[in-house]
A and B are shown apart, each in its own frame.
Chain A
């Protein structure tokens, strides 16, 4: 028995994921498109998608910034791994995060919220911060509420190595202070969440009945609490409703073959394999239109990962503070990171949709928590926008804007995504002028 509705996009394309054991959902059948392959025959345009691809600890700016600008620019050493997706790439250099006071924490919140962070506790022997505002992915998710079964999906790639410096150091996506959307690091668990929902109508009925009762409990408890705790329970309630809606509407529109299996990861971290697996799964979720908003936390703020693949024996963070200039290992780790970004972007490029591919429909903000880890600098911020934005972006160029507000770049990404947002950030981080050269 199936409770699924909207089976119009349900089909299977097995084998695209190689050895990963995941079958690929083919999103839109040719028969369902109009004659030009630009929209569904039934009318609506192919879906817009917005994402954030985040890595920690920045770049080496002198080897990151391309020498020339415009469409004819040559990729820099650190951007070279992205050559296969260069036509989909907008490279923005020279901007600065203007709200940043201290690196990592404030760079992270500055670029993702256009705002200062929120420090927890005046009396302290540890430092802890959280986001003061919603992160940009959630601002877009608000605009697109209800368009896909999952409001947003968050995934993490490299191991999170622990910190008690607060949610800023642990999570990219935030709904507000201490209200993060945790990244899923397990491919198996993500697969189950996306595709493994019950198909048994009786069980789904029971699940909905339970959630209905839980909603009642949340309401009763909420009456007894102060304003702040009521807000926390409001989030709980919102989460319950999201699951209820998914259960009402059916859990998905694709089938996805066998569950994904996690890569064994107990000593030297198999970063490439983990990234490949998660990139495939996320592309599948997008292709199946399970979500239109996503974040990828390749590495957390501060980048505690060890990129042993390039010969590093210490964490990237430590290396960035100890290696002698010109810091060849830090540079190599940045190149490696961009190669991982390329894996994801080429996966999207190679997933056909309509007359083009998934990457054509996306606008993906790719950025970090600072510019240069050695200096903790917040000028020359590394920002890329990947994707065609469903025709709204003019990718394939390098735009250099010395001293400009990094929030302008973020606003460009969300306008390019077709989010409907026209401003971003507050105070020094406020932006209402997207980078016009990058918009069609």
Chain B
């Protein structure tokens, strides 16, 4: 319902009166300065699984999809009271699931806590390793003190080392360093408005984009070593695109791009469409996800094949919906040629989502193509306009009823941007099933894409694959998703460059992600307004996590208080930073005991 619900400022009719807010206040000029990216629900779940190997079932704070993507909303959201309560419940649920008893606890931390003479030294390497991975950054003495401090406080008050260990894990999971991906960047030597993401920050961004979670061991190790130049990023991108977690991450991108995340809420007129069941709609979403994920990740598909392929991943129920058969539980099937469905846009999930409960909506389907695939701008209907269509008369198709959109000058300016595209889909009803007739009239599915006449969805797919705006738009969408921001005008050159690279790569989308990962637009950020730090001896290396470099990276007056996990002869321990380099001394429980 975007076009009806959407209230833009640029109506088709007369402009609204000037708002009482100042221009600056009324428009957020750009959303490009956020340093905190709150994880989406999916990112949180994936990160927890990658970190601890558990699947969680607790409710998490709801996402806010802005400009299409939860990542854009995540760069704006805070943690309200109700959100915090959900995070707290989740953290403790995870902590008790992962560390249910003394046995699991000792196995996790790697030493026996019961009766240990120095339980803190036992806990420390585990806590540092955990936080390092979960917080996607180096760990310093202060972090270590705080985490071990929680253990000590609970242990001393309660005398329950399991609860005390759970508390450390619950702290790691409730820390803003986990809940937010933090992008502060380090200032550019020349340009005060520009910051470069640190290796850890770019690693976190890359992992979130490609695997939907945390950097894995190899990526984190390269960030620790400070070797993530564009070549290394490209190599990691190619590697991560082959990782198992790339599939769900890719699936989430297409879910958001095509609104598939709303399919669970989708209902249809039950009398008219008794076969529209929860399992059918789930299969519809899965079909599109699989088509996109398999195409991009495994077939190295180009744009044209995504918009034109006849292959479909179908459950038997969904296959019946298309008039074909499929093996249980699901298999690849070729769709009937005479329906001319083509690729992504001819699939039932898209068609059902962009339709009403009882009827199709050429306007919604056309709006999707115009805004989401071509990144065109369609103003909302002007205020006060009567949006009723003429009552259906016997023998009048929806195409005929929509004529008013194209003849009434108040409507036609905008509807010409949508309806001629959307009418191409008229062979597919509100659930995406084939129909030859609409209201007793043979369907006329002729349409038009910016002057190119099309006669079927497959035709439209071919025209889209050749439309110059599609590759640029998809690049734009992916960049938004990747950086969690609605691009400002300063990113236009980057979008042009990246879509040029995409064209050079034969429009293979996998290559777009590789280009994106190593592009400066992915690795830089505008300096935030009112930035902390830039003063005193810390400048210009402000406000970064402390590393072992000889600088006061975190600007706290202490140089090189970084710590890391090391492997000593008697097990894992803590290594401290020495004179601008790691000390080489691995302190662990047993050795500290002897000191």
How far apart are the CA atoms of A232 and B4 in the complex, in Å? 32
A273 interface hit (Cβ, 8 Å): no
Q: Return the chain A residue nearest B378 by Cβ.
A: A125
Q: Which residues of A are found within 8 Å of B261, using beta-carbon distances?
A: 162
Contact with B along A94-111 (1 / 0, CB 8 A): 000001011111100000
Inside 8 A of A128's CB, which chain B residues have their CB? 66-67
Report how far A202 CA is from B160 CA in the complex, Å: 9
Please tell me which stretch of B238-246, B265-273, B283-291, B322-330 contacts chain A, meaning at least 4 of its Cβ atoms lie within 8 angstroms of it. Answer: B265-273
**Do B154 and A268 touch across chains, with their CB atoms under 8 A apart?**
no
A213 near B8: Cβ-Cβ < 8 Å: no
Contact pick for A226, options B163, B262, B532, CB 8 Å: B532
Q: Looking at B146, B176, B271, which has the most chain A CB atoms within 10 Å of its CB?
A: B176
B81 touches A121 (CB 8 A): no
Whether a CB of chain B sits under 8 angstroms from the CB of A115 is: yes
Are A103 and B81 interface neighbours, CB within 8 A?
no
Chain B 150-163: CB-based contact to A (< 8 A → 1; otherwise 0): 10011001101001
In the complex the two chains form, is A318's CB within 8 Å of B388's CB?
no
Q: Quick check: B554 and A127 within 8 Å, CB to CB?
A: no
Q: B544 contacts which chain A residues (CB < 8 A)? A: 224
Write the chain A residue with the least CB distance to B5. A302
Chain A residues with CB below 8 A from B358, complex form: 313-314
Is the Cβ of B67 less than 8 Å from the Cβ of A206? no
Smallest beta-carbon distance A203→chain B, Å: 7
User: Does A9 sit within 8 A of B, measured CB to CB?
Assistant: no
Smallest CB–CB gap between A213 and chain B, Å?
Answer: 5
What is the distance, in angstroms, from A161's C-beta to the closest C-beta of chain B?
A: 5
Q: A268 vs B274: C-alpha distance in the bound complex, in angstroms?
A: 12
Q: Is the CB of B7 within 8 A of A102?
A: yes
Majority secondary structure, B binding face? loop
Chain B contacts for A99, CB-based, 8 A = 19-20
Q: Is B177 an interface residue (CB 8 A)?
A: yes
Q: Counting CB contacts under 8 A, is A242 at the interface? A: yes
Q: Do B357 and A318 touch (CB < 8 A)?
A: yes
Are B21's CB and A213's CB within 8 A? no
Quick check: is A426 within 8 A (CB to CB) of the other chain? yes
Closest to A159 in B: B265
**Do residues B1 and A116 form an inter-chain contact, with CB atoms below 8 A?**
no
Q: How far is the CB of B523 from chain A (nearest CB, A)?
A: 19
Query: Given contacts A127-B7, A192-B89, are A235 and B80 in contact (CB under 8 A)?
Result: yes
Interface status of B383 (Cβ within 8 A of chain A): yes
Q: Are the C-beta atoms of A223 and B20 separated by less than 8 Å?
A: no
Chain B positions within 8 Å of A304 at CB level = 1, 5
Please choose the segment from B27-35, B307-315, B506-514, B562-570 that sits at the chain A interface, where 4 or more of its residues have CB less than 8 A away: B27-35
Interface flags, B519-533, vs A, CB<8A=1, else 0: 000000001111111
Q: B26 contacts A116, CB within 8 Å? A: yes
Contact residues in B for A232 (Cβ distance below 8 Å): 36, 77-78
Residue of B79, B182, B488 contacting most chain A CB atoms (<10 Å)? B79
Contacts of B176 in A (CB 8 A): 214, 217-218, 221, 233, 236
B residues near A129, Cβ cutoff 8 Å: 7
Closest partner residue, chain B, to A183 (CB atom): B82
Contact A120 B5 (CB under 8 A): no
Determine the distance from Cα of A128 to Cα of B548 in the docked complex, in whole angstroms. Answer: 44
For A197-233 the 0/1 string (1 means CB < 8 A from B) is: 0000011011101111110111011111111111111
Binds B, one of A164-172, A393-401, A432-440: A164-172
Q: Is B106 an interface residue (CB 8 A)?
A: no
Decide yes or no whether B472 CB sits under 8 A from chain A. no
B68 and A210 contacting across the interface, CB-CB below 8 Å? no
Most buried by B among A205, A377, A429: A205
Task: Mark interface residues in A128-163 (1 if CB within 8 Å of B CB, else 0).
Answer: 111010000000000000000011101000011111
A-binding segment of B167-175, B221-229, B579-587? B167-175
Q: Does B595 contact A (CB under 8 A)?
A: no
Encode B1-31 as 1/0 by CB contact (under 8 A) with A: 1101111110100001101110001111111
In angstroms, how far is the closest chain A Cβ from the Cβ of B181? 12
A281-334, CB < 8 A from B: 301-302, 304, 306, 308, 313-315, 317-318, 321-325
The answer to whether A179 has its CB under 8 Å from any CB of chain B is yes
Residues in A with CB closer than 8 Å to B529 are 226-228
- Tell me which of A217, A226, A317, A321 contacts B531 (CB under 8 A): A226
- Whether B21 contacts A118 by the Cβ 8 Å rule is yes
Is there an interface contact between A165 and B2, defined as CB atoms closer than 8 Å?
yes
Are B175 and A217 in contact, CB atoms less than 8 angstroms apart? yes
Q: Is A346 part of the contact surface with B, judged by Cβ < 8 Å?
A: no
CB distance A243 to B85 under 8 Å?
A: yes
A169–B62 Cα gap in the complex (Å)?
14
Contacts of A7 in B (CB 8 A): none
Chain B's nearest CB lies how many Å from the CB of A114? 10
* Cross-chain contact A123 with B488 (CB below 8 angstroms): yes
**Docked-complex contact B383 and A182, CB < 8 angstroms:** no
Complex: A240 Cα to B167 Cα, angstroms:
16
Q: Chain B residues near A106: list those with CB within 8 A.
A: 7
Contact bitstring A422-434, B, C-beta under 8 A = 1, else 0: 0000111100000
Partner of A162, one of B157, B265, B386, B388: B265
Choose from A103, A121, A205, A315 the contact partner of B67 (Cβ within 8 Å). Answer: A121
Q: Is B389 an interface residue (CB 8 A)?
A: yes
Complex: how many Å from CA A288 to CA B77? 31
B66 close to A164 (CB less than 8 A): yes
Query: In the assembled complex, which residues on chain B have CB atoms less than 8 Å from the CB atom of A212?
Result: 150
In whole angstroms, what is the CA distance A242 to B532 when docked? 26
CB <8 Å contact, B146 and A213? yes
Within 8 Å of chain A (Cβ to Cβ): is B380?
yes
- Name the A residues within 8 Å of B78 (CB-CB): 175, 178-179, 231-233, 235-236
**Given A213-B150, A267-B270, 14 other A-B contacts at CB below 8 A?**
A116-B20, A118-B26, A162-B262, A212-B150, A213-B146, A214-B176, A220-B554, A226-B532, A227-B530, A238-B81, A239-B80, A313-B272, A322-B387, A323-B388
A-B contact pairs, 7 of them (CB 8 A): A119-B26, A128-B66, A163-B2, A202-B158, A221-B176, A240-B84, A321-B387
**B binding-site residues for A, Cβ under 8 Å:** 1-2, 4-9, 11, 16-17, 19-21, 25-31, 33-36, 59, 61-62, 64-69, 73, 76-86, 88-89, 91-92, 142, 146-147, 149-150, 153-154, 157-158, 160, 163-164, 166-167, 170-171, 174-177, 180, 182, 184, 259, 261-262, 265, 267, 269-272, 277-278, 356-359, 371-372, 375-378, 380, 383-389, 391, 486-489, 527-533, 542-544, 554-555
